[in-house]
Structure 1
């Protein structure tokens, strides 16, 4: 049997015991209650740094252990099939490939996953961004971690929080006096192409109706005028014979 992606990573790191090391918590010489504010800050920063530096490692380890390795084998088959049929794997194909692995995936989750691989620009998907085999396996592992996190955090709460985070970042990008085609992306228009959206509509958030309705009202308040401006600009262009 071929080695897993995590085993290949261990070879690259030349760390035979990396699996055990990764699962070992960070021990401190003092109890947290006995630490000074400076020591606490240093400890928490150490935890954050380790989490960031081992993000890939943990995703591949989760991929390896899930269903006793069957998920990774299925992910490899999906990759091979896509290579035979298309010759490459791009960001645009990721949602369908994940669904083929029996994941129920939303726009929020797709954006969250692709953003980790530089496959988003602003809040639009870079559809043509190609993924390597290693990146694909890593992404599947990240997806599994996200799904497992719902044991501790309700999915609808995560969806609403992430949507709110993206909303804030979109508003930061919007220029008050110069609406442009790229400022309102596929994210906020239920997949419609930026600059061609006609209205705000319900999204694939999988969240509670009352939460979705509240967010939609907020979006209508801030982004609605931009969309109307875009519609007005498009109308003037069409009226003058320009496409």
Structure 2
């Protein structure tokens, strides 16, 4: 359904970082103090963000390119409860808050195709063909969105996501470009621990006949820039196999923001 799949271009966690685990991350709700007379942070421009976002060849095991199918306009993705808007925006590849500049890329996992064996319904007995379809769709697709903010905009935007995880834990409904959908629950997860502060979460989409589909997201602050990662794996979801935002994508992007 498009509401949940747009971040993965139509093909288709929140750990509130508490500073534990020795990763050096700060709580998502913490805003670092600024000394008297210290100049306010200034956002990076679109050109600089384009240089800093991941590119093809920089993430082992993944193909990186433009976001096919486009991302939703911010005004076209709204939750029924406004407190949940930051979650819906993250899940649809929209940067939270009001960034001065932003850019996005899609990282698609590349797996070797199996060789030999039957590949058609007639050549597979039982549930073999259905299993093969699930395996073929067992690919992590991640949209990475970089956004830069003036002043304390990045801290405030990250806190809005953190607050939304608590407020919307029992689920929420939303609408994107005229299509409606429901997330039955929002679950906090442990983030990758990169950056100055971060939040990570899973939102479960009530996909009806296709069963529940989890979508995973992380929002990581690097100074006054936020990196939002949105991952879906349809094959894993169909097979009820756990997955999360892939660490290689997060590591590669974090390295370009140092």
Which range, TM-score by smaller chain? under 0.3
Q: Which has the larger radius of gyration?
A: 1
Q: Going by fraction, where is helix more abundant, 1 or 2?
A: 1
Higher RCO, 1 or 2 (CA under 8 Å, sep at least 6)? 2
State TM-score, norm by structure 2: 0.22
Q: Going by fraction, where is strand more abundant, 1 or 2?
A: 2
